[in-house]
Structure formats: structure tokens, C-alpha cells
Amino acid sequence: MTISNEDKSNRENRRAPKAKISMITLGVRNLAASLAFYRDGLGFPTYNYVEGQNCIMFKLEGTWLALYPRASLADDAAVASRGSGFPGFALAHNVGSKALVDETFAVAVAAGATPVKEPQDVFWGGYSSYFADPDGFLWEVAWNPFTDLT
């Protein structure tokens, strides 16, 4: 099989994603216990946290950490929360536009990732997708119009 010049050109013109993990989201069983551990125990600074929210973000140096109920994270990634299919956490790669979500998702799938959730508008106002790496570890590729994590 040969690669046509057009295919090559498409491949070369597609930008490689920035080498960055924007956020690590841990799917937790008891949000209050995890908040107490990370905020009060380790001293990590929450970001815009309002009592009662179920997504808690910490702005760390270099990346973000989020806590989210385990079942909600599985729902968000459109996978079952029980069984071996859900690793219990997700890495996020944030980009600056919906078009870049589409493009980055396509790069990952072309590289052999398993598409898990096609890019789509999501309830919180962003645009998001999930793919799984060769071991089933989840990556969200997202555009967030409210907070720049890129």
C-alpha cells in the first residue's frame, strides 16, 4: 500500500496536540472525605469552589486536579462505572476551540485510540469528547468556554 501525496499532506498539515495534561480528574466515592483530604490535609487550593458543588477543582502548579463522584465521571465519559472498563480517573487535554477538539480527537483516533465519546456539546456548556488509550485509560479532549485550562 502506498500513501498518496494528498494523504501525506493531510497528515503533515494536521497539528500535533500540545504535549500537555491539562487536568487529572479522580472519580471518588465520598466527595466530602476527598475534599477534606486534599484541601485541609494536603493544603491544595480549591478554585471557585462553592459548598455543595459536586465537581471540585484545584489549581495546582502545572496542571489541575479535580474531584468528581465516581459514577458521574463514568457517566461523563459514557462508560459503565462498574467492572474493568472504567479506570476510575481521567486525564484531560483542553484546547481553545470546538474545532480543535474535533481535530485532536481525530489525531488520537488516527493514532489508534478507541473513540469513547464523540465530540459534542455537553451539559455544562463546553464541548467534550473522550478517547481511551491502548490500556483503556481515559482522556477527555475538551473546550471549556469558562476556564482556560489550555
Site for a second copy, rule CB under 8 A: 16-21, 24, 26-30, 33-34, 36-38, 40-45, 58-63, 65, 70, 87-89, 91, 107-108, 110-113, 133-135, 137
| Beta carbon of residue 138, minimum distance to a second copy (angstroms, whole number) | 11
Give per-residue burial for 46-85: e unless 16+ CB within 10 Å, then b. Answer: beeeeeeeeebbbeeeeebbbbbbbebbbebbebebeeee
Which residue carries 500535533 as its cell? 16
Half-sphere exposure of 122 (CA within 13 A, CB side): 21
Which residue carries 465516581 as its cell? 70
Instruction: Sort strands 64-69 and 23-28 into parallel, antiparallel or unpaired.
Output: parallel
Nearer to a second copy, 24 or 55 (CB): 24
Nearer to a second copy, 6 or 40 (CB): 40
| Beta carbon of residue 70, minimum distance to a second copy (angstroms, whole number) | 8
| Beta carbon of residue 6, minimum distance to a second copy (angstroms, whole number) | 20
**Alpha carbons 27 and 68: distance in angstroms, whole number:** 5
Q: Which three cell numbers stand for residue 117?
A: 465519546
| Beta carbon of residue 118, minimum distance to a second copy (angstroms, whole number) | 19
